[in-house]
A and B are shown apart, each in its own frame.
Chain A
Amino acid sequence: NAGVTQTPKFQVLKTGQSMTLQCAQDMNHEYMSWYRQDPGMGLRLIHYSVGAGITDQGEVPNGYNVSRSTTEDFPLRLLSAAPSQTSVYFCASSPMGRDTEAFFGQGTRLTVV
């Protein structure tokens, strides 16, 4: 069982470039989310989705776009990368409803130069 799969694992971008971080889950979870992890700041929620076609902003959404066309996939787009977006990005999924736990992907380490 693959769980939550993120690609790529590592990426270096130049300032102003765009890219998409991929996230896929095979557990039929309705809820998916993206976090960024920065030293001393823990994980902060960027965007989340409660199902196909429904997305919403988290704590730090600026500079990122998301869409959810299928239950399985939840890509994160950087339209114009900035050095401040250098971070480790984690995708997570969980079933909807009360008292559920989140499952995390392996992470994508992004460096913007």
Chain B
Amino acid sequence: AQSVSQHNHHVILSEAASLELGCNYSYGGTVNLFWYVQYPGQHLQLLLKYFSGDPLVKGIKGFEAEFIKSKFSFNLRKPSVQWSDTAEYFCAGNTGFQKLVFGTGTRLLVSP
């Protein structure tokens, strides 16, 4: 079955530290991958998406992710986090069509 896994459940960083959140998927063929962010008390917002083409995807708020097919990974990165990045981050995927499968999420706490 298709699945998405996130191994970091909780991450605590200081402001200005670099961030990398892991995401692995188990799709066998074509895959679309997404990172969503959920700020406290808010709904999910799309950070970035990968459909095809350049495996390095840039999103909003300085986030980027790299699709590495050989490693089945789509890790999220940001060179320097801010306190306002405190949120929960979800990786999700589908086979190119609508049904999204989500990872279990990573709670990021950035201390000032």
Contacts and interface: CB of A to CB of B under 8 A. Distances in A.
Given A99-B51, A105-B43, A106-B42, A42 B90 contact: yes
Contact of B99 (A42, A48, A98, A107): A48
Contacts of A40: 9, 104-105
Contact of A45 (B34, B36, B100): B100
A101 B9 contact: no
Interface residues of B, number: 25
B43, B49, B100: which has the most chain A beta carbons within 10 Å?
Answer: B43
Contacts of A58: 99
Interface size band for A: 20 to 34
Contacts of A97: 97
B11 interface: no
25 contacts: A33-B99, A40-B9, A40-B104, A40-B105, A42-B6, A42-B104, A43-B44, A43-B102, A44-B102, A45-B99, A48-B98, A48-B99, A50-B98, A90-B43, A90-B44, A92-B100, A98-B96, A100-B98, A101-B46, A101-B49, A102-B98, A102-B100, A104-B36, A106-B42, A106-B43
Please provide the 7 A-B residue pairs with the shortest distance between their CB atoms, ordered closest to farther: A42-B102, A42-B104, A43-B102, A99-B51, A104-B44, A31-B98, A106-B43
